[in-house]
Amino acid sequence: MSYSFDWSSIPGALPYLWHGARITLEITALAILVGIVWGTVLAVMRLSGHALLAAFAALYVNLFRSVPLLMVILWFFLIVPAALRALFGEGMPDIRLTSAFVAFSLFEAAYYAEIMRAGIQSVPKGQLSSALALGLTRGQAMRLVVLPQAFRNMTPLLLTQAIILFQDTSLVYVIGLADFFGAAYKVGDRDGRIVELLMFAGAAYFVVCFAASLAVRRLHSRVASP
Amino acid sequence: MGGYHWNWGVFFQQVPSGGATYLDWFVQGVEWTLLVSAAGWAIALALGALLGVLRTVPSRALRGFAAAYVELFRNIPLLVQLFLWYFVVPELLPKALGDAIKGSPPLAQQFVAATLCLGLFTAARVCEQVRAGIESIARGQRAAGLALGLTLPQTYRFVLLPMAFRIILPPLTSEALNIIKNSSVVSTIGLIELSRQAQQLVDYSAQPYEAFIAVTIAYLVINAVVMYAMRWLEHRTRIPGYLVAAK
């Protein structure tokens, strides 16, 4: 190995990297939140028995799941500014973050919808029947009886998907947004220390994701046994 | 968006450098996407099968090695892995080899890095599917194979793997679809595959919606073709009366 490492540019860059990490976390958190809510709505629509709603949800989910996330990010980077400009006129501030929020939220919803659909189907049919027999409306039965159990059953999968989402946020690199990875790359590029910064970024992602997946596995083994 | 001028004829116009139409560019993008995905998939299947077997062998060390591989490749984002292969690995190799890599044509460097990255990343996922497939086979099959005098490798080759691969064809289908979608990430190191071609078409033709719609549809079509091909394969390799479909 002929390469001589020089890690000295990392300590000074930590505040900038932390700023990037916050963008990574913001996108992840918002996409989880919106993704689970919108995904649950899509799942309920798909199982509603209403032909039109079910068809819309199926089309939405299948479309987003057939297209690379990178294309979706680029799509919203193209569409969101045009839409915002139509709403607010010219002179928009930096819209990259907004378009990333929208792209990740709508994209992840498709994946969360499939998880929630499996979750709803995992609740025994008798639960719904007895809720209806007790006089709850369909909406109440869904909200108060079925969905809480579906969430509980699917918690490990929802969290695993969150870890995948956390890793995928690095793709905002393609629209030039300085998330944690983008920040690391910029620092490495600036100081001619791309090797060190990329290895640092890889190690940081590994530590976070490995720890998180161990925690999920532990939770899973606790939830799984009745 | 009232001011947008649709012009689907743009695909038949000459590109600025001449000698090709935008449609030619688009087709080249499709070809690179398929090429990178197929080459990566070959690596992923071979290595994934091997690792999946290692996850189930009696040796604790081999099982641990395969498990460590899976954790390593599953917990680092694909984009980071790609940049590590492309920018970092040539620096860490012995100087002569590293220089040889850096001296080779850029396209070759991009293709090798992209294929290796996608292949090794997907191998970790294929490994877990293969392991699940092997573990789902009744224990008696392994014991029966060994009792018949087959060696352990022979038992895997003739008894366990042929069954396991049939069982895991549906999840393998989604991994095959994933590698095609994931191949879009290699655009970041400059390989002009389908998604990069979309951006290039936007830059040169100034018809962003046509370019993006065409590329999105191309992904949908590729997806559908692969899905039907895998379903056909599933149907062809089904063992009559044994693996009845779940439904």
- CATH number for the domain including A188? 1.10.3720.10
Domain span holding position A65: 12-224
- Report if residue B53 sits inside a domain: yes
- Report if residue B14 sits inside a domain: no
- Mean pLDDT over A180-208 rounds to 95
Tell me whether residues A68 and B182 touch, CB distance under 8 A: yes
Contact A104, A169 (CB under 8 A): yes
- The pLDDT score that the predictor gives to residue A91 is 62
Write phi, then psi, for B14 (nearest 5 degrees).
Answer: -75, 145
- The region of weakest confidence among A4-18, A57-71, B230-244 is B230-244
The dihedral over CA atoms of A104, A110, A112, A118, expressed in degrees to the nearest 10, equals: -170
Higher pLDDT among residues B193 and A222, named by residue: B193
* Owner of token pair 């680092």: B76
Q: What CATH number does residue B79 fall under?
A: 1.10.3720.10
Domain span holding position B187: 24-237
- The pLDDT score that the predictor gives to residue B246 is 42
Question: What is the per-residue pLDDT across A127-167, written as a single tens digit (0 to 9) for each?
Answer: 999 999 999 999 999 999 999 999 999 999 999 999 999 99
Q: Which residue is closest to A2 within chain B, CA to CA? A: B95
Bridge partners of residue B21, in order along the sequence: B14
- Report if residue A27 sits inside a domain: yes
Higher pLDDT among residues B131 and B209, named by residue: B131
Q: Which two tokens stand for residue B21?
A: 């139409």
Report whether pLDDT(B245) > 60. no
- Mean pLDDT over A27-53 rounds to 95
Report whether pLDDT(B109) > 60. yes
- The pLDDT score that the predictor gives to residue A83 is 75
B243: alpha, beta or left? (left if phi > 0; alpha if psi -120 to 50): beta
Contact A82, A100 (CB under 8 A): no
**Where residue B243 falls among pLDDT bands split at 50, 70, 90?**
low
Tell me whether residues B72 and A201 touch, CB distance under 8 A: no
Rounded Cα distance, B38 and A220, in Å: 35
Question: What is the per-residue pLDDT across B31-88, written as a single tens digit (0 to 9) for each?
Answer: 999 999 999 999 999 999 999 999 999 999 999 999 999 999 999 999 999 999 999 9
**Residues of B whose CB is below 8 A from A194:** 87-88
- Report if residue B34 sits inside a domain: yes
Query: Which member of B1, B183, B220 has the closest CB to residue A66?
Result: B220
- Report if residue B242 sits inside a domain: no
Taking a contact as any Cβ pair under 8 Å apart, which residues of chain A between 106 and 125 contact chain B?
Answer: none
- Report if residue A4 sits inside a domain: no
- Report if residue A5 sits inside a domain: no
Contact A46, A58 (CB under 8 A): yes
The total number of structural domains that make up chain A: 1
- Mean pLDDT over A48-62 rounds to 94
Q: Which of B144, B132, B125 is nearest to B70 (CA)?
A: B125
Q: Which residue is closest to A87 within chain B, CA to CA? A: B1
- Report if residue A125 sits inside a domain: yes
Q: Which two tokens stand for residue A39?
A: 């995904």
Question: pLDDT exceeding 70 applies to what percent of chain A?
Answer: 95
- The pLDDT score that the predictor gives to residue B180 is 96
- Report if residue A16 sits inside a domain: yes
Its ipTM equals 0.91
- Mean pLDDT over A111-117 rounds to 96
**Where residue B2 falls among pLDDT bands split at 50, 70, 90?**
low
Q: Which of A37, A53, A195 is nearest to A116 (CA)?
A: A37
Angle at the Cα of B36 from the Cα atoms of B30 and B37, rounded to 5 degrees: 85
Q: Which two tokens stand for residue B154?
A: 């022979």
- The pLDDT score that the predictor gives to residue A224 is 60
Q: Tell whether B188 is within 8 A of chain A (Cβ).
A: yes
Kindly report the average pLDDT of chain A as a whole number.
Answer: 91
Higher pLDDT among residues A224 and A52, named by residue: A52
Q: Tell whether B99 is within 8 A of chain A (Cβ).
A: no
- The pLDDT score that the predictor gives to residue A93 is 67
- Report if residue A47 sits inside a domain: yes
**Reduced to 3 states, what is the DSSP secondary structure of residue A15?**
helix
Q: Which two tokens stand for residue B185?
A: 């990430």
Contact B218, B21 (CB under 8 A): no
- Mean pLDDT over A187-191 rounds to 92
Kindly report the average pLDDT of chain B as a whole number.
Answer: 91
- Mean pLDDT over B186-191 rounds to 92
- Report if residue A7 sits inside a domain: no
The total number of structural domains that make up chain B: 1
| Helix ranges (DSSP H) in A47-95 | 51-66, 69-88
Question: What is the per-residue pLDDT across A78-99, written as a single tens digit (0 to 9) for each?
Answer: 877 777 777 776 666 678 888 9
Contact B65, B142 (CB under 8 A): no
One-letter identity of residue B149: G
- The pLDDT score that the predictor gives to residue A1 is 58
- The pLDDT score that the predictor gives to residue B17 is 80
Q: Which of B104, B224, B135 is nearest to B173 (CA)?
A: B224
Q: Which of A61, A172, A78 is nearest to B211 (CA)?
A: A78
Q: Tell whether B225 is within 8 A of chain A (Cβ).
A: no
CA A187 to chain centre: 26
Looking at the complex, report in whole angstroms how far the Cα of residue A62 sits from the nearest Cα belonging to chain B.
10
- Report if residue B8 sits inside a domain: no
